Structure 1
C-alpha cells in the first residue's frame, strides 16, 4: 500500500462521508511554486483551480511569505478583535477604499460563509426584517442561514432555515425561462420577475437581495451587464439592500473590473469577500455602508477574524495585486484562454457553452445536439485533464461544468499549455 492509499484509508476512517475528494485516485498536494503544485506521487501539475479560486497570486510568493514570517517573529499570532491590530486596521483601510462604497466599514471573518452570515445579520437588523431575496443556482455557504439562501439543491442539506427566502431567476443563458431572451430583454424580464416576487411572495418589508455577480459553484453563470443596476432601482423604491457576494469574483479576477458588481452600474450596500484575499490564509469579511454595518444592536466580535497573521498576509496580497496589475493580467490572459477555447472547441458537439470573464472560465458539457447535461463526459474530461498534468474544478447545477480559476499571475505560456491539455481532453472525450 502506498502512502497515498494509506492516507486515503485514514481519511475515510475519521472524516465525514459527505466531504468529497476530487479524482478517482485522490491527490495529496505536498508543495507548490508559482502556478504549479507537486503531489505525493512525485508528479507536478499546472493548477487551474487554486484551492477553489483561493491561491489567487500563486504558491510560494516571497512577499507574502516574508509578511507572515515577520509577524510570526514577533511571537504574536493571535490577540482577538478586542485589541488593536495594526495590520487589521491597515487592511480595512485598503478594502474600504477599494470597495467603492462611501463611508465604508469593514468586519473581518474567517470564511466566505461567515462573511455572508455577518452581512445577513447586518441587513436584517438594519431593516428589522428576516425576509431575503436570493437567486436560483446560487451558493453562499454551508452554515444555517447561508445554506438557506443557497439556490442549489446539491448544497442544501437541510430545508430548515431562519430566514424567509423568495427566489429570483438566475442569469443562465443556456437553459431556463429567461435563457431564450436577448440581453436587454432578459434584464427587463428579471425586473418584472422581481416586482412580481415582491408583490406575491413577501410581506413587503424585505431586508436585502443577496447575489453573486458570477455564480461560482453554480458553474460561473452570470446575467447580462447592467442586471444588478436595473434590479437596484426597484430595491431602492422601498429601501431593500443589495448584498454583492464577491467571494469568488473579487480582487480583479474578472479582468474587466476589480469587483464583479462594477459590470452593473451600481454600488452595493454590502459586499462580502473571502478566498483570494488571504491567498490560502483564512481571511474574509464584509465591507459596507457605515449606517448598515453599525446597525447591530448587541456586542459582537470575532475571535479569529482579522487576526495578525491573516491580515499580514492579506495586506501583502492586496499590495501584490495592485502593484503588479493582476487585474490587467487576468483580462489579457483570460481573453487568450476564452478566445482560443471558443475557436478550437466552441463547435464541439459535447460543448454546450463556454463562458466566464478574466481568469474565471467554464465549459459546460451536454449530450450532442441538446442542452441535456452530460455528467459522464464531464468526469472523463476532468480525469483526462489530470492525466495530462492539469488540475481543474467541477461545478454547475448538474455537476456538468469544468471550472477554471487559476492564479491571477498566470503567464501566456502557462495558459497555452493548459489550453492544449483541456482541448485534447475534450476532443478525446467527444470522439470516444
Structure 2
C-alpha cells in the first residue's frame, strides 16, 4: 500500500515536494502525542506536523467543536457576518497586547506574512524590507523574496528590495565570539550602518526563534534594541510568530515578549498551532495599519466557520490547562536531559531552544562543518526507535528540530529523550 502510494505521489506531485525518510511514511491516525502509520507502527510525535498539532492529536474538545460546526455550516466567506470569526478575533486581539488591534484571518502562515508585507509597504509607501539572515517566512513570491535561508529560497526575483540583518543566529557569524551585551551592541551598530546606506524601509520582519533555520535565536532584548533604532525612523516591526506563538516557548505567550521592553510589535503574524491541524493563519495590527488599504479585500477561506470553531476550542483548552506552563516545565526538563546526552556525543555542537521548541545542531566532530548525513541518520534511527522528529538549519548547518504537542508529559519526554539518545549515539 505504502509503496503504491509513493509511486502515485511521485507521478502527480512536484519533485521539490520533499518527503522524510528513505522509506516515506503514511500517517493514518493519531491520539494525544502519538501517531500510527499505515503498517500499524506507533510513534511518539515530537514534530506535530511541523509544529501545527500544537495541543494533541484528536483532542476531544477540538474534534467535538469541528463536528458540531460541520453539522451547521462549513463556510460562507468573509462577505457575511461570521460569529466564530468575530469571537476568535476578539480573543486574539486581547491576547496580542497590541492596542486597538485588528485581526485578519488567512489560511496559512505564508499568506499571513504576505498580508503583513502588503500592509507595511502600503502604510509606509516603501517596498524595502529588512529581514534576518537564516530566516524563513513562507513559500509565496513575496515571502520567498524575504527568506534569508538559501535552501528555502528558490529564486532571487522579488517584488521587494530585501536587506538582510545580522543577529538571528547567536553562535555563528562575525559577532559570535562576543558576549551577549556586545553581540547586541554590534548588531545594532550594523543595523544603523545599513540604514545609513539605503532609503527608509517599510519594516523589519523577524522570527523571535528561527524555525526552519534550526531553532536559532538572538540574546533576549535584541529586537527591543532594534526597535528603538527603527522607531526613530518610523520603520515598522513585524514579529513572525507562526512557530513561536501561543506559549510554545514556555517563558512567554509570544516569542516577541523576550524582546518587548518597548511594547508589542506593530504587526504580529500567526498560524500553525492555533488551529491544532486546521488551516488557520492571521495578522494582528494596530487599527491605523490594518485599515490603511484603500481597495476592497476579502479572504475566501480565511476565517471560515469550521476552522474558527477549531481555533476557539483549541485556544480555550490551551489557556484553561496552562499549556504554556507545561511547555516551560516539561520543556525545561527535556532540554536539560538532551544537553546531558549531547555532552557525550562529539557530533553535537549545541542544544538550544526554549520550552517545547528545541534544536540540536550537528557538526562533523572537531569542526564547525555541517553534518547533514548525521542529521538524516538520526532522523532514521529515531523513527526506527518509535520517535518522529524534524530537521532544518541554515548557515550551512544541520539541526534536528524537536517540537512536541504542548500536552507532552514527563514520562513521554523521558521516553523521547531515551530514543534520541540512542539515535545520537549511533552517529558514526
TM-score normalised over the length of structure 1: 0.97
Q: State the match for 1:69 in structure 2.
A: 67
Contact kept in structure 2, 1:141 and 1:150, CA below 8 Å: yes
Instruction: Using the TM superposition, give the Cα deviation of residue 170 of structure 1 relative to its aligned residue in structure 2, in angstroms.
Output: 3.2
Q: State the match for 1:212 in structure 2.
A: 207
SS in 2 for 1:210: strand
1: CA distance, partners of 2:167 / 2:294? 34
Q: What count of residue pairs does the alignment treat as equivalent?
A: 425
Where does structure 1 lack aligned partners over 5 or more consecutive residues? none
Q: Determine whether 1:109 maps to 2:81.
A: no
Instruction: Using the TM superposition, give the Cα deviation of residue 344 of structure 1 relative to its aligned residue in structure 2, in angstroms.
Output: 2.2
1: CA distance, partners of 2:68 / 2:412? 32
Q: Determine whether 1:93 maps to 2:90.
A: yes
Instruction: Using the TM superposition, give the Cα deviation of residue 171 of structure 1 relative to its aligned residue in structure 2, in angstroms.
Output: 2.8
Q: Determine whether 1:237 maps to 2:232.
A: yes
Contact kept in structure 2, 1:55 and 1:407, CA below 8 Å: yes
Aligned residue among 251, 275, 290 for 2:246: 251
Contact kept in structure 2, 1:133 and 1:209, CA below 8 Å: yes
Q: Deviation digits for residues 213-257 of structure 1, max 9, x if unmatched? A: 000000000000001100000001011000000000000000000
Map residues 303-318 of structure 1 onto 2, 5 A cutoff: 303-318=300-315
Where does structure 2 lack aligned partners over 5 or more consecutive residues? none
Q: State the match for 1:334 in structure 2.
A: 331
Instruction: Using the TM superposition, give the Cα deviation of residue 297 of structure 1 relative to its aligned residue in structure 2, in angstroms.
Output: 1.3
SS in 2 for 1:295: coil
1: CA distance, partners of 2:13 / 2:286? 40
Instruction: Using the TM superposition, give the Cα deviation of residue 41 of structure 1 relative to its aligned residue in structure 2, in angstroms.
Output: 1.4
Q: Deviation digits for residues 322-368 of structure 1, max 9, x if unmatched? A: 00000000000000010111122234210011000000001000111
Q: Deviation digits for residues 157-202 of structure 1, max 9, x if unmatched? A: 11110001111013323321121111111110110011011112x2
1: CA distance, partners of 2:274 / 2:115? 18
Contact kept in structure 2, 1:169 and 1:190, CA below 8 Å: yes
Runs in 1 of length 4+ with deviation above 4 angstroms? none
TM-score normalised over the length of structure 2: 0.98
Map residues 283-302 of structure 1 onto 2, 5 A cutoff: 283-302=280-299
Q: Deviation digits for residues 94-113 of structure 1, max 9, x if unmatched? A: 00000010110000000000
1: CA distance, partners of 2:134 / 2:235? 21
2: CA distance, partners of 1:160 / 1:345? 40
Aligned residue among 62, 69, 80 for 1:83: 80
Aligned residue among 99, 119, 122 for 1:122: 119
Q: Determine whether 1:271 maps to 2:268.
A: yes
1: CA distance, partners of 2:320 / 2:99? 24
Q: State the match for 2:322 in structure 1.
A: 325
Q: State the match for 2:30 in structure 1.
A: 32
